Chain A
Amino acid sequence: MRWVNRQVGRRGGVLLGATPILLLLLLYLLLAANRHALNPMDKILPLPVGMAQAMSDLLFTPDQLTGHLLFWADTLASLQRLSIGLGIATAAALLVGLVLGVLPPVRATFGPLVTSIAVIPPIALLPILFIALGLGETAKVALIVIGIAPVMVRDIAAHVAAIPREQIIKAQTLGASSWQIMIRVALPQAMPRLFHAVRLALGPAWVFLISAEAIASDVGLGYRIFLVRRYLSMDVIIPYVIWIALLAIAMDAAFAILGRRLFPWAQGASH
């Protein structure tokens, strides 16, 4: 039987998908145990016991300086920045994307501007943001917004512009104005795509968040990782990275499920 025809069932899929992850874990444990056998004080590949000890301090013991539980304070600060940034970018994408997609004169005027902004590497703008907005929360959120919004705007605008011409004509023969076409025809059909765009933007959003936190911050997941790097604290870095991965997976899944629930009509069709 050809490999292209080998279908994998649900249970088989779970099993196959888990195998490489488990193998990788096993490999790590073997290597770590090996290193610890040679040097019980090894810091580079900590054993799970070591990670649990280091993390329990961050999880349950209040910090001497601030009195916060650091792990939770970091998580809260990062998620707050991320969600504000994503929120602003999403709103901008919907608003600007819709107008660009539906109204040809607006597209002709602002399309090139959006394209130009989208090609600038956002990290290159970080110094400008820090100079203009200071080192506080605003600059970090602004980096996330500038990093992901242009791509989302272009995606939504392209999707809206690709709504079949027949639908727009039909709406006009039913008496719809530009405004009515925008809110009743284009907006609802842009929504599933917006959810999709947010899911795709989650990855870059995390990148910009960690970057901003690494450079100037006093709390946050990215800040903590870069702080403890000075002490080679792999026993903190690795659990933090796993935690970030889990948060990202949970957010992605939440958007996927929500999108399916809210837009049952959009399943299986691009338009």
Chain B
Amino acid sequence: MSPLLSLRNIWVEYGDRIILEKLSIDIEAGSFVSIVGPSGAGKSSLLRLILGQEAPTQGVILLDGTPLTSECGPDRGVVFQRYSVFPHLSALRNTMFGIECEKAPLSARLFGKARRAAQDEAAEMLDAVGLGDSMHMFPAQMSGGMQQRLAIAQALVKRPRILLLDEPFGALDPGIRADMHALINRLWRDYALTIIMVTHDIREAFALGTRVLSIDKRRRDPHAPHRFGATAVYDLALRKKEPDPVPDEANPVSPETVSSH
């Protein structure tokens, strides 16, 4: 099976500062990749590359065998640590946003039957992340954990090929964080997701991931530390139970459609 996402000999340089060097990774569909590493090592740069927010200085990134354009698109969903929900929309409207953008290019708003269909789909997704009772709340009225649940629901409505998580639980209390781990694990299985998560928390990385990538500099020049970039120094495949083969009734992305391209 060819990998879903493939980074080939990636370099990222800002001026004469080298952030990432000679990075090659293949990511299989259905895997849960945790990316760890010291602050400033380039974890977030790597995520921005995959997201399409930035282009690599050298190298190619292939998604399903086709090179990525350096622009974000609906095939890659994202949840940031903060600010990834729209403060002016209720939870339901936040979740409907993706559907509305796709179906109404001009007004980005749906009416009548199409609107009800979108509402039903969004409500189902909110139920799946445990926000079924808070559909009409604004983000400012929600706790940090609820906001992150909403951000996940909002991304999953688009059925992204890859879900990118940028320290999604970093700002949450430990108790809430455990709940969120259980949630993301369940969603990953139910919806057969491919997840790439950047985290500071090594325990989180090993608890959730099927594979842990450690990003760090291989070499250091004490006189010019910026001239060596980081790369994947450890790539650990973790043995885990296979993703639950029983698909969820709630219309998941089935593994067949993922690998058919």
Contacts and interface: CB of A to CB of B under 8 A. Distances in A.
Chain A interface residue bracket vs B: 20 to 34
Contacts of A167: 83-84, 86
Given A170-B78, A183-B108, A265-B140, A176 B101 contact: yes
Given A169-B72, A170-B154, A268-B140, A188 B88 contact: yes
Interface string A186-212: 001100000000000000000000000
Contact of B98 (A169, A174, A263, A264): A174
Contacts, number: 92
Nearest to A263: B88
B155 interface: yes
B105 A177 contact: yes
Interface in B68-126: 71-74, 76-78, 80, 82-89, 97-98, 100-102, 105-109
A144 B101 CA distance: 39
B143 interface: no
B155 A174 contact: yes
Chain B interface residue bracket vs A: 35 or more
Contacts of B105: 177, 179-180
A269 B140 contact: yes
B101 A175 contact: yes
Contact of B108 (A176, A264, A266): A176
Contact of A171 (B53, B76, B97): B97
A271 interface: yes
Contacts of B74: 173-175
A182 B53 CA distance: 18
A170 B80 contact: yes
A37 B107 CA distance: 72
B158 interface: yes
Contacts of A189: 86-88
Interface string A132-167: 000000000000000000000000000000001011
B73 A172 contact: yes
15 contacts: A166-B84, A167-B84, A169-B53, A169-B72, A170-B85, A171-B86, A172-B72, A173-B51, A173-B73, A174-B74, A174-B157, A174-B158, A188-B89, A265-B89, A269-B87
9 closest Cβ pairs, A-B complex = A174-B98, A172-B72, A164-B83, A175-B74, A166-B83, A265-B138, A180-B108, A166-B80, A188-B88
Interface of A: 164, 166-167, 169-177, 179-180, 183-185, 188-189, 263-269, 271
Given A173-B158, A265-B138, 7 more contacts: A166-B84, A169-B53, A169-B80, A170-B85, A173-B73, A173-B155, A176-B101
